[in-house]
């Protein structure tokens, strides 16, 4: 029987996953709601750990990195709402053995867990086509968890600023005017109490690990 | 011939005149120092060279054209043996230099003329000052024949062409303004004090020293004013006159600030200027690290902007005249600056509205993506589990899972209702926090909910109130669903600028299944307002959720 650990903060999803795995002959041996509670999972040393990326006190990527060192024999499957290729790339780069989107068919979820447990690397069908190269350095949007005070648009601008893009290029990329981009940059600087664009780049590197 | 080539050949004319003066001065000064009389033709050539220099310096062109006639007339006088023609021509052409300086000139020409003046002032100061004192009735006429005066007068003859050559070579580079100011101040003060001494010596012989001492202060004040005017004599008039036309020619509000800043800098000959509205700089010119002196721009008694300028090099602050000039610019520029301020305010309001809309969309996105999405996926997994149990004839477990599924669907339906409620126009809601929370929390129980809002008529700013309400609702929803509590107390207090939300329950405590829901959403909402959130166990059982918000520091306010 495959033993499974779950790191997931959403109760209904966690309940559903537990029910499904029990019905399919697998056992959930440990559950954690957040990053700080994963000691329970480490102690249980399950065959597979299913990890959500958006956790209340951090990101699932931190859990992946930690479990890779503390549970080298366990297989890690990221199960998240993010269907973009860049997120999947980062999951795999952090050391996960699989990346699946939560709205995948239940049969696909079960199959993915079995495959990962058997030693395969699995990427969900809905993100496989959008997967970027691992360690891809092209522009990205920092996660909302890292910058909760910024809007999605501001995070898009922040990601491009952190990658060293100039305002006109950002404006072209996002279909905005130069002035609007300048306004976004100044409101980001004020929201993050940053001195200049370099400080923003440093902040993004610190928070997102790029 | 191209303009550049023509300018180059004209500069050659000016250089030729400078060299001619230098050569003839060498001949004349050699004779003077050796005690011999220079040949008449050398003196004549020297005088002609001087007139030529004054006529064509610094551009090489004769401006105005009638200066040519003046020069020719004076030259004819000199050739006919009338030394007065030289003196008249010299004075007239020197005056034309001043006219050229005041009229349209390039910066390089203007600065080159200042170099010439830098040489002329001490030379004329020497010749006129000593000459005037010596010529006074009873004055010390012997000084004109003293060897020291001879050496000084030779030096005075050299200093002008040398300064002219430096001016041509340096153009607008070099510290000529400062030198002019100091040299003119020093020379004028000396001449004025010497004159006072000389006049007093002639009129009241016993009091000449007293008069000379008493004249030092007014003389130096007058000399300093003259020197400042000479050094920075471009004056405010031209930039001030041009400002209304330039403002009328702007094509957008964003051009007004830089234009006014440039005008301030030009009018004061200041090294740096700045125009700002509140903390926002509309325009600046020059180095901004210098200390700036400010003058408000008023319109309808309202401060629409602030003009600021740095003191000129070597000065510690703006003079009263500078402040008057700034005030004059402020009057002319006030309507345009008020327009620029309004345009900026409108742009900022537009950006704030866009950001508010983005935040609302983000919030909706988070509700759908982070809450409803996983909930529906979880329900789908449970449905798949039921299916699997039924396939294996495990009807008991399937029945339990169906009940669980029903509960989950009910939870999700409630959440959808809450999200829909949040999307209603806020105008239909009570403005005060206490009745609003009472309406939103409802009477559904258990647990029994006690609401305490301090002060009881608290109304929070529009920017923060919706988030406070959402945090309270999310916290209470958590308690209702997962805490298994009998009582729940909600406290909202305003202390200074901090809004504090505390939700206590007597349930099973944090860290249990289900208590995590909504926490990340609460953390995100408080972080937006520089606040914090925590969920901790209460001594004696139950949990306490604390969330803080800071009003007034909302990031776009």
Q: How many residues are recorded in chain B?
A: 557
| A141, A156 contact by CB (below 8 A) | yes
A158 and A109 housed in the same domain: no
| A170, A182 contact by CB (below 8 A) | no
3-state secondary structure of B163: helix
Which one of B377, B482, B524 has the shortest CB-CB distance to A13? B377
CATH number (1.20.120.420, 3.40.50.12780, 1.10.1270.20, 3.30.565.10) of B431-557 reads: 3.30.565.10
Nearest C-alpha of chain B: how many angstroms from A81? 7
Chain B residues lying within 8 Å of A107, measured CB to CB: 384
Which one of B361, B370, B379 has the shortest CB-CB distance to A16? B379
- Contact at CB, B384 and A149, closer than 8 angstroms: no
User: For residue A162, is it within any domain?
Assistant: yes
Of the residues A6, A16, A38, A152, the best mutation for testing chain B's interface (the one with the most B CB atoms within 10 Å of its CB) is A16
- Burial (CB < 10 A; 0-12, 13-18, 19+), residue A99, is buried
Given CB atoms, is A183 within the 8 Å cutoff of chain B? Answer: yes
A46 and A97 housed in the same domain: yes
- ipTM for the whole complex: 0.74
A107 and A161 housed in the same domain: no
Residue A56 sits in which domain range? Answer: 3-128
- Nearest chain A residue to B408 by CA distance is A12
Q: How many CB atoms are located within 10 Å of the residue B158 CB? A: 17
- Contact at CB, A12 and B412, closer than 8 angstroms: yes
- Contact at CB, B382 and A20, closer than 8 angstroms: yes
With residue B451 as reference, give the H or E element that holds it: strand B448-454
Chain A residues lying within 8 Å of B556, measured CB to CB: 187
- Nearest chain A residue to B482 by CA distance is A11
* Whether the predicted model's global pTM rises above the 0.90 cut: no
For B260, phi then psi, to 5°, come to -65, -40
For A129, phi then psi, to 5°, come to -70, -20
> Do the strands A48-51 and B272-277 form a parallel or antiparallel pair, or are they unpaired?
unpaired
Nearest C-alpha of chain B: how many angstroms from A179? 10
**Residues A18-38: tens digit of each pLDDT:** 999 999 999 999 999 888 889
| B168, B11 contact by CB (below 8 A) | yes
- Angle at CA of residue A193, ends A189 and A196, nearest 5°: 50
User: How many domains are contained in chain A?
Assistant: 2
Domain ranges in chain B?
Answer: 3-232, 237-354, 431-557
Chain B residues lying within 8 Å of A154, measured CB to CB: 355, 358
Nearest C-alpha of chain B: how many angstroms from A123? 18
Give the bridge partners for B535, in sequence order.
B545
What span, in angstroms and rounded, lies between the C-alpha atoms of B395 and B6?
A: 106
- Contact at CB, A191 and B361, closer than 8 angstroms: no
CA A19 vs CA B48, B381, B384: distances in Å? 113, 7, 9
* Contacts of the segment A198-201: beta carbons below 8 A, 24+ positions apart: A200/A158, A200/A161, A200/A162, A201/A161, A201/A162, A201/A163, A201/A164
- Nearest chain B residue to A107 by CA distance is B384
Sign of CA dihedral A23, A25, A29, A33: negative
User: For residue A202, is it within any domain?
Assistant: yes
What span, in angstroms and rounded, lies between the C-alpha atoms of B457 and B218?
A: 70
Which one of A31, A106, A145 has the shortest CB-CB distance to B381? A106
Q: Domain of A62: which CATH number?
A: 3.40.50.2300
Which one of B365, B370, B377 has the shortest CB-CB distance to A54? B370
Chain A residues lying within 8 Å of B555, measured CB to CB: 149, 187, 190-191
- Nearest chain B residue to A187 by CA distance is B556
Given CB atoms, is A33 within the 8 Å cutoff of chain B? Answer: yes
Q: Domain of A181: which CATH number?
A: 1.10.10.10
CATH number (2.160.20.70, 3.30.450.40, 3.30.930.10, 3.20.20.150) of B237-354 reads: 3.30.450.40
A28 and A79 housed in the same domain: yes
User: For residue A139, is it within any domain?
Assistant: no
Of the residues B352, B365, B374, the best mutation for testing chain A's interface (the one with the most A CB atoms within 10 Å of its CB) is B374
User: For residue A140, is it within any domain?
Assistant: no
User: For residue A93, is it within any domain?
Assistant: yes
A95 and A191 housed in the same domain: no
DSSP state, residue A175: T
pLDDT of chain B, 557 residues: tens digit per residue: 344 444 556 778 889 999 999 999 998 888 888 878 888 888 899 899 999 998 888 888 887 788 888 888 999 998 888 888 888 998 898 888 878 776 655 656 777 888 888 888 888 878 887 887 777 777 677 878 888 888 888 888 899 999 999 988 887 666 777 788 888 889 889 888 988 888 888 888 888 889 999 999 999 999 888 887 776 655 667 788 889 999 999 888 889 999 999 999 888 888 899 999 888 888 988 876 788 899 999 998 899 999 999 987 766 777 777 788 899 999 999 999 999 999 888 888 888 888 878 877 887 887 888 889 999 999 999 999 999 999 998 999 999 999 999 989 988 888 888 788 777 665 556 778 898 888 888 777 778 899 999 888 888 887 788 889 888 988 888 888 778 889 999 999 998 889 999 999 998 887 654 444 567 678 777 877 888 888 888 888 889 999 999 886 444 33
User: For residue A135, is it within any domain?
Assistant: no
Which one of B374, B389, B392 has the shortest CB-CB distance to A13? B374
User: For residue A137, is it within any domain?
Assistant: no
Of the residues B362, B365, B378, the best mutation for testing chain A's interface (the one with the most A CB atoms within 10 Å of its CB) is B378
> Mutual orientation of helices B465-478 and B519-528 as an angle, nearest 10°?
160
A34 and A73 housed in the same domain: yes
């Amino acid at each position: 029987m495959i033993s499974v650990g779950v790191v997931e903060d959403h109760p209904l999803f966690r309940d559903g996953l537990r029910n499904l795995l029990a019905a399919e002959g697998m056992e959930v041996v440990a559950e954690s709601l957040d990053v700080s509670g994963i000691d329970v999972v480490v102690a249980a040393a399950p065959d597979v750990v299913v990890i959500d990326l958006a956790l209340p006190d951090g990101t699932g990527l931190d859990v992946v990195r930690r479990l890779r060192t503390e549970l080298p024999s366990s297989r890690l499957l990221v199960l998240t709402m993010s269907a973009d290729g860049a997120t999947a790339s980062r999951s795999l780069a952090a050391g996960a053995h699989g990346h699946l989107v939560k709205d995948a068919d239940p049969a696909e979820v079960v199959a993915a867990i079995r495959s990962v447990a058997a030693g395969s690397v699995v990427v969900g069908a809905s993100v496989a086509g959008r997967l970027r190269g691992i360690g891809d350095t092209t522009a990205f949007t920092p996660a909302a968890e890292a910058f909760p005070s910024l809007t999605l648009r501001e995070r898009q601008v922040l990601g491009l600023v952190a990658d060293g893009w100039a305002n006109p290029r950002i404006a072209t990329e996002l279909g905005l005017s130069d002035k609007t981009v300048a306004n976004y940059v100044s409101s980001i600087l004020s929201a993050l109490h940053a001195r200049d664009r370099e400080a923003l780049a440093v902040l993004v590197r610190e928070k997102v690990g790029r | 011939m191209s303009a550049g080539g023509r300018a180059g050949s004209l500069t050659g004319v000016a250089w030729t005149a400078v060299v001619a003066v230098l050569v003839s001065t060498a001949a004349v000064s050699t004779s003077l120092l050796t005690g011999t009389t220079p040949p008449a033709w050398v003196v004549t050539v020297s005088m002609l060279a001087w007139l030529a220099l004054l006529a064509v310096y610094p551009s090489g062109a004769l401006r105005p054209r009638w200066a040519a006639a003046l020069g020719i007339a004076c030259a004819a006088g000199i050739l006919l043996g009338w030394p007065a023609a030289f003196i008249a021509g010299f004075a007239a052409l020197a005056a034309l230099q001043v006219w050229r300086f005041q009229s349209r000139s390039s910066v390089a020409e203007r600065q080159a003329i200042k170099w010439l003046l830098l040489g002329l002032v001490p030379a004329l100061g020497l010749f006129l000052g000593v000459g005037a004192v010596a010529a006074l009735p009873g004055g010390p006429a012997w000084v004109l024949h003293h060897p020291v005066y001879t050496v000084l007068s030779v030096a005075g003859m050299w200093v002008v062409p040398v300064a002219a050559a430096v001016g041509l070579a340096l153009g607008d580079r070099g510290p000529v303004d400062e030198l002019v100011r100091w040299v003119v101040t020093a020379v004028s003060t000396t001449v004025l004090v010497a004159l006072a001494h000389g006049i007093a010596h002639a009129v009241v012989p016993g009091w000449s020293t007293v008069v000379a001492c008493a004249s030092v202060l007014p003389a130096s004040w007058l000399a300093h004013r003259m020197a400042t005017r000479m050094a920075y004599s471009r004056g405010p008039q031209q930039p001030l006159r041009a400002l209304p036309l330039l403002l009328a020619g702007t094509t957008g509000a964003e051009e007004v600030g830089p234009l006014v800043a440039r005008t301030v800098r030009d009018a004061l000959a200041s090294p740096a200027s700045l125009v700002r509205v509140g903390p926002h700089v509309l325009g600046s010119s020059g180095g901004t690290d210098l200390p700036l002196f400010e003058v408000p721009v008023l319109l309808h008694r309202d401060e629409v902007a602030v003009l600021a300028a740095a003191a000129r090099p070597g000065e510690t602050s703006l003079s009263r005249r500078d402040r008057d000039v700034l005030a004059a610019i402020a009057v002319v520029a006030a309507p345009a600056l008020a327009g620029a301020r309004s345009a900026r305010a409108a742009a900022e309001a537009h950006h704030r509205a866009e950001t508010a809309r983005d935040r609302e969309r983000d919030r909706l996105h988070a509700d759908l993506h982070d809450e409803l999405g996983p909930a529906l996926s979880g329900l789908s997994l449970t449905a798949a589990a039921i299916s699997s149990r039924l396939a294996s004839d495990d009807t008991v477990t399937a029945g339990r899972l169906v009940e669980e599924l029903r509960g989950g669907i009910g939870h999700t339906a409630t959440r959808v209702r809450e999200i829909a409620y949040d999307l209603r126009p806020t105008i239909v809601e009570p403005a005060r926090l206490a009745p609003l929370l009472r309406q939103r929390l409802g009477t559904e129980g258990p647990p029994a909910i006690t609401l305490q809002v301090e002060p009881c008529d608290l109304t929070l700013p529009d920017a923060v109130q919706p988030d406070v309400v959402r945090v309270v609702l999310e916290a209470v929803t958590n308690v209702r669903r997962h805490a298994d509590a009998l009582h729940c107390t909600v406290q909202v207090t305003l202390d200074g600028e901090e809004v504090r939300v505390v939700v206590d329950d007597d349930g099973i405590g944090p860290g249990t299944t289900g208590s995590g829901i909504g926490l990340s959403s609460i953390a995100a909402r408080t972080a937006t307002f520089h606040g914090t959130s925590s969920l901790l166990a209460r001594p004696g059982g139950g949990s306490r959720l604390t969330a803080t918000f800071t009003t007034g520091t909302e990031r776009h306010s």
